[in-house]
Amino acid sequence: MSPTRRHGPEVHRANRSGWLRAAVLGANDGIVSTASLIVGVAGSGAGYGTVRTAGIAAVAAGALSMAAGEYVSVSAQRDAERADLRRERTELRDHPASELAELAEIWRGRGLDAGLAQTVAEQLTEADALGAHARDELGLVDGARPAPVQAAATSALAFAAGALFPLIAFLLGPRDGRSAVVVVLATLALAASGAAAGALGGAPRTRAAVRVAAGGLAAMLLTMAIGEAAGAALG
């Protein structure tokens, strides 16, 4: 939070916009990887039809790989949280006194004096012991975690939405300048989505836009150079 900002009920955008931010980052991935692949294959000297097929395959492969990766990662996270909660439930049942002391210690660590921490721990335990330990000890926030299938679908759609930009730019671009059109449009799209991600995260927009666009541009130009070298070396 900026110290110059007047204090008030400030908006914590980092939490609220988590989903949207993940979607924007997925779209960035789609733009960079598909544009890079297209200009890399085109740089090798491949014909229009080959690059078009490679571009379509890149959209499908990227979206599906994002979906699979997200499904695995969110599932693993959820399983780990469930295991933590199971362990916590057992501890609360078998060792309620030491669990109460543990909770009081956490609140002392947050700055409460011993007596108040003890009172807070007792009242939280009485109201919802497992919920209190989940929040204060494990750091789990209820409802913050998306379901694996939802997360997978969101990532795949976001990637595909971003990836369609460079693919369409290639398909509709002028005969002799398709790669240039792909690079320019992809860079502009990255700058826009970088600015959007920055705004969602409450970060400076221009810096975010430049960073995302420059990173993507470097990836595209490097892949194009590698494609040209591979085309020259391998034919």
Residue, CB closest to Zn ion: 133
Nearest CA to 38 out of 57, 22, 61 is that of 57
Cβ of residue 95: shortest distance to Zn ion, in angstroms? 9
Cβ of residue 91: shortest distance to Zn ion, in angstroms? 6
Nearer to Zn ion (CB atom), residue 31 or residue 92: 92
Q: How far apart are CA 196 and CA 67, in angstroms?
A: 23
Cβ of residue 40: shortest distance to Zn ion, in angstroms? 52
**Per-residue H/E/C for 31-51:** HHHHHHHHHHHHHCCCCHHHH
Q: How far apart are CA 121 and CA 112, in angstroms?
A: 11
Cβ of residue 123: shortest distance to Zn ion, in angstroms? 16
Q: Which long-range contacts (CB under 8 A, 24 or more apart) does 83-92 make?
A: 84/134, 84/138, 84/140, 85/130, 85/134, 85/138, 85/140, 88/130, 88/133, 88/134, 88/137, 88/138, 89/130, 92/129, 92/130, 92/133
Nearer to Zn ion (CB atom), residue 105 or residue 137: 137
Cβ of residue 138: shortest distance to Zn ion, in angstroms? 8
Q: Which of 27, 32, 40, 133 binds Zn ion (CB under 5 A)?
A: 133
* Segment near Zn ion (CB under 5 A); pick from 16-24, 68-76, 126-134, 172-180: 126-134
Q: Give the list of residues 6+ apart from residue 38 with CB closer than 8 angstroms, or none.
A: 51, 54, 55, 58, 166, 167, 170, 179, 182
Q: Which of 137, 161, 228, 231 binds Zn ion (CB under 5 A)?
A: 137
Tokens of 214: 């420059």
* Segment near Zn ion (CB under 5 A); pick from 58-66, 111-119, 127-135, 193-201: 127-135
Nearer to Zn ion (CB atom), residue 105 or residue 228: 105
- Contacts of Zn ion in 141-200 (CB under 5 A): none
C-beta separation of 171 from 52 below 8 A: yes
Tokens of 142: 């209820």
Nearer to Zn ion (CB atom), residue 129 or residue 224: 129
* Segment near Zn ion (CB under 5 A); pick from 36-44, 120-128, 134-142, 195-203: 134-142
Nearer to Zn ion (CB atom), residue 137 or residue 228: 137
Q: How far apart are CA 91 and CA 95, in angstroms?
A: 5
Q: Answer yes or no whether residue 84 interacts with Zn ion by CB under 5 A.
A: no
Binding site for Zn ion (CB under 5 A): 99, 133, 137
